[in-house]
Structure 1
Amino acid sequence: MVTQCLPASLTPLEAAVAVLLHELEAVTPEDLPLAEALGCVAAEMPALPSTPVYDLAAADGWAVNANDVVGVSSYSPLALARPPTWVNVGDAMPQHCDCVLDVDAVDTSGPIVEIIVEGAPGQGIRRAGSDIAADRPAIASGHLICPRDLLTARTAGLETLNVRRPRLRIVNLPGGTATAHLIADHARANGARVTEIEAEARDAASIADVLDPVGADLLIVVGGSGVGRNDATVTALARRGEVLAHGVALQPGRTVAIGRADAVPVLVMPGAPDHALAVWFALALPALECLSGRRSRESRLLPLSRKIASSVGLAEIALLEERNDAWLPLATGDLPLHAMARADAWLLIPGSSEGFAAGTPIDAYLWRE
């Protein structure tokens, strides 16, 4: 029988991340319909032609050449034998016309048509290539696709997008549903295709039965990572695969375990929401970003409104609220639900740091659902 225990010394977070990411590669891209691609990470895409292809009218009005109406006014009108070409929004501009005048800029009430307002080149026009420049992809590789990206794709006439969508399987132990849903929601918001499975019981045999890595790129088990009487997940992982690390110098979340099952990385998270959240930020998110090829997270640089104290030797998660153009620390190490509800950003404090003084500029990761 495999026994479970925490090591005498905790694995440094940096070493734990290296173990989890060892030989982990980005998943194979797939083409998805635009609606399904929302929230996924863009893969490499071919360059698009310029959009619009031609100069288009951006307003309803009279199409003219701006040089022909220089200095024109109601006191010095330009008489024409016939009215200029009328264009509606979206119409291709007539040849040699580079300006759209308003409806009342041309007087057609008398026997002679008169232009009474001058115009400037480009007025009322959407230039060719102004929406999408030639030879550029619709969406940059590694970018998390958002609604405005779908607008670009639809404008370019695309029906699908090439994306990377890692397959994440989450195993939930009885009693940990809320925490498992928290992790699943975060995973979906970061481009993963999530499958949730619930173990029938908390014993090692029941947990091992559902530790099936087939069809998954990352396997996460929520709950049972400690050494209590009802904590059997690490034992189950040892039976089903291998345990590479158990106990990481991370606060909260130090009972996290890392392993593999049939070459698929496995992350065993504590069942408490704040502990699981810390493990998500520090370990699961880097793994998911590696699998998806995501290249950056959104962050914001602001000064601290008050100091953050941290224990040397433990990496810690701090939650921050943006207030008066500064980061206000809400919680460090222990993350109560009320702090999670208010937080706008999070910060990973390295184990080598004693914290940060008030006024220190902090580049914190934005926490948006």
Structure 2
Amino acid sequence: MPSPAHAQESFADIAARLAAYDPKALRVELAQQFIQSLLQRPQTMETVGLRQARGRVLAADVISPLNVPAHDNSAMDGYALRASDLRSDGPTQLHVAGTSLAGQAAAPELAPGSCQRIMTGALMPAGLDTVVPQEFTRALIDGQIEIPPGLLQAGDNRRCAGEDLRQGEVALSAGRRLKPADIGLLASLGLAQVQVWRRLKVAVLSTGNELCELGQSPRAGGLYDSNRYTLCALLEQLGVEVLDLGLVRDEPAALRAAFAHAAAEADAVISSGGVSVGEADHTKAVMAELGDVLFWRVAMRPGRPLAIGRISNTEGRSCLMFGLPGNPVAVMVTFYAFVREALLAMSGATPEPLLTLQAISSQALRKKPGRTEYQRGIVSRRSDGRWQVDITGNQGSGILSSMSQANGLVVLGHEQGDLAAGELVEVWPFEGLA
């Protein structure tokens, strides 16, 4: 959403200030820069329980209310001892005074020359500072153990109080999108609830009279609407609330009603189809009628046609609009390139750029300088441990099966030309690579 400074300024005026702005051949990075300049951060907070917090965005710093761990404890099963009792000129023999178990109070201070059998997580007895793993000791008669020389240094295998987090320290920063490990960390602090930003609501619709719903029989020249299902899955992966507005006929009244519904209910709306230059449909006209919209031809492949704007309903409520191409692969590519990071920012999240790795191209790649290209690839590990990527074949923007086969996108920069086999390329993995 636009910041207050942009409230009375048209999108065209804002765009005109961008260096080298050309709506007919807009560089990817300029489109990203423009979109980021429009975004407004969330204002509404809520408190949720930990079981509902995964994927939500922290609205405030989480301050640790205690030390983690709260006390010095053992990092493994073994024997707790004083490092000062260790001999350097030969084996050390120590008397085993007792056993410490996890969950018990700390044992009292031991006499010099004594040690304590200790389990992982058990509190260190008073005055003892080091733990020897049990497998490095030898049991002797009369309740003693022997430790080889040169094995330990003071503090080995001991977890110190506050080693993980200290009381009063920031445990998690505002803007963090909570992951499973974060939920565990919050629980370790004794926190049952956490303050997060309201979940972003994003409306999704598809346009095009050639499309039909699942369960219907396609008429001649028709095809099933796949884009809406792809977009809903991508949005659910981001953790936003999805408002599915369905398949909208390419008729002005139907389009007005759908976009007005989105403006009334959602923070953003994503449409697919109807933004290409010269298309004989009503989508672009209705978008422009209901708000301030720019139509771009981005210097990229696939995904050249793109619309960005703000649409409003009759009560004046508005939402940010992303008009994506109609081709299935182009929908996914433009979502990753432009929409994903924008929605995260609108959710209050600290920027989370897509993970990028370097991989060796197993084949020569044809590429025209002057546009950014995204090719579908399969990344795998070579025998030497390095990543390599194989292109999935037909790169047509309507070949969705190749996107399904791929596990990442090869990103070829604006200025790059043809690449030889064996050259390094950048890849956006879709998920963690097996």
Query: What is the TM-score normalised by the length of structure 1?
Result: 0.79
Q: Deviations over 1:321-367 (max 9, x none)?
A: 22432233336862423431232322444444435444443332221
Residue pairs, 1:320-331, within 5 angstroms: 320-323=377-380, 324=382, 325-330=387-392
Distance 1:76 1:69, change over 3 A: closer
Cα distance, 1:78–1:278 mapped onto 2, change above 3 Å: closer
Quick check: 2:61–2:170 contact (8 Å CA) kept in 1? yes
Three-state SS of the structure 2 residue aligned to 1:184 is helix
Higher relative contact order (CA 8 A, sep 6+): 1
Q: Distance in 2 between matches of 1:363 and 1:162?
A: 37
2:304 — aligned with what? Answer: 254
- 3-state DSSP class of the match of 1:213? helix
| Match among 219, 233, 248 for residue 283 of structure 2 | 233
Identity of aligned residues (%): 21
Q: Please tell me the residue identity of whatever aligns with 2:35.
A: L
Question: Quick one: distance in 2 between partners of 1:281 and 1:81?
Answer: 62
Tell me the equivalent position of 2:187: 154
Q: Which amino acid aligns with 1:345?
A: G
Shift of 1:96: 0.7
Query: What CA distance in whole angstroms lies between the structure 2 residues aligned with 1:72 and 1:63?
Result: 21
Q: Hey, what does 1:5 align to over in structure 2? A: none
* Offset of residue 206 of structure 1: 1.1
**Cα displacement (A) at 1:280:** 0.9
Report deviation, 1:166. Answer: 3.3
Give the direction of change, closer, same or farther, for the CA distance of 1:248–1:50 in structure 2 (3 Å limit): same
Q: Is the 8 A contact 2:358 2:426 kept in 1?
A: yes
Q: Which digits, 9 at most, give the CA deviation of each residue in 1:69-90, with x for residues without a partner?
A: 54699x8744578785554433
Amino acid at match of 1:23: L
SS of residue paired to 1:138 = strand
Task: State the distance in 2 between where 1:289 and 1:356 align.
Answer: 33
**Residue 425 of structure 2, aligned match among 350, 362, 366:** 362
Distance of 2:92 and 2:38 partners within structure 1: 76
CA pair 169-68 structure 1, distance change in 2 beyond 3 A:
same
Corresponding residue for residue 331 of structure 2:
276
In structure 1, what is the Cα distance between the partners aligned to 2:157 and 2:417? 58
The corresponding residue for 1:198 is: 246
1:85-96 aligned within 5 A: 85-96=116-127
The match for 1:116 is 146
Contact in 2 for aligned 1:69/1:78 (Cα 8 Å):
no
Amino acid in the other structure paired with 1:168: V
CA contact 1:99–1:123 (8 Å) conserved in 2: yes
Q: Is the 8 A contact 2:95 2:115 kept in 1?
A: no
Q: Tell me how far apart the structure 2 counterparts of residues 186 and 80 of structure 1 sit (CA, whole Å).
A: 59
* Structure 2 residue aligned with 1:99: 130
Letter of the 1:116 counterpart: E
**Mapping of residues 3-14 of structure 1, within 5 Å:** 10-14=24-28
Q: Does 1:25 align with 2:25?
A: no
Please give the per-residue CA displacement for 1:258-281, whole angstroms capped at 9, x wherever unaligned: 221135221122333112112212
Instruction: Output the CA distance in 2 between the equivalents of 1:268 and 1:98.
Output: 63
How does 1:166-205 map onto structure 2 within 5 Å? 166-173=200-207, 175=212, 177-199=225-247, 201-205=249-253
- With over 3 angstroms needed to count, the CA separation of the structure-2 counterparts of 1:102 and 1:362, relative to structure 1, is closer
Give the conservation status (yes or no) of the 8 Å contact 1:303–1:326.
Answer: yes
Q: For 1:346 and 1:131, how far apart are their aligned partners in 2?
A: 37
- Specify whether residues 141 and 249 from structure 1 end up closer, same or farther in structure 2 by C-alpha distance, changes over 3 A only: same
Change (3 A) 1:93 1:300: same
Whole-Å separation in 2 of the counterparts to 1:140 and 1:278: 30
In 2, the alpha carbon distance for the partners of 1:279 and 1:363 equals 17
Distance (whole Å) between structure 2 residues aligned to residue 180 and residue 36 of structure 1: 26
* 2:307 counterpart letter in structure 1: A
Distance in structure 1 (CA, Å) of the matches to 2:23 and 2:95: 91
Alignment CA distance shift 1:318-1:28 (3 Å): farther
Find the counterpart in structure 1 of residue 102 from structure 2: none
Moved more, 97-106 or 244-253: 97-106
Instruction: Name the count of aligned residue pairs.
Output: 358
Superposed CA deviations along residues 304-336 of structure 1, whole A, max 9, x for unmatched, are 333332234443222232243223333686242
1:39 & 1:224 partners in 2: Cα distance?
32
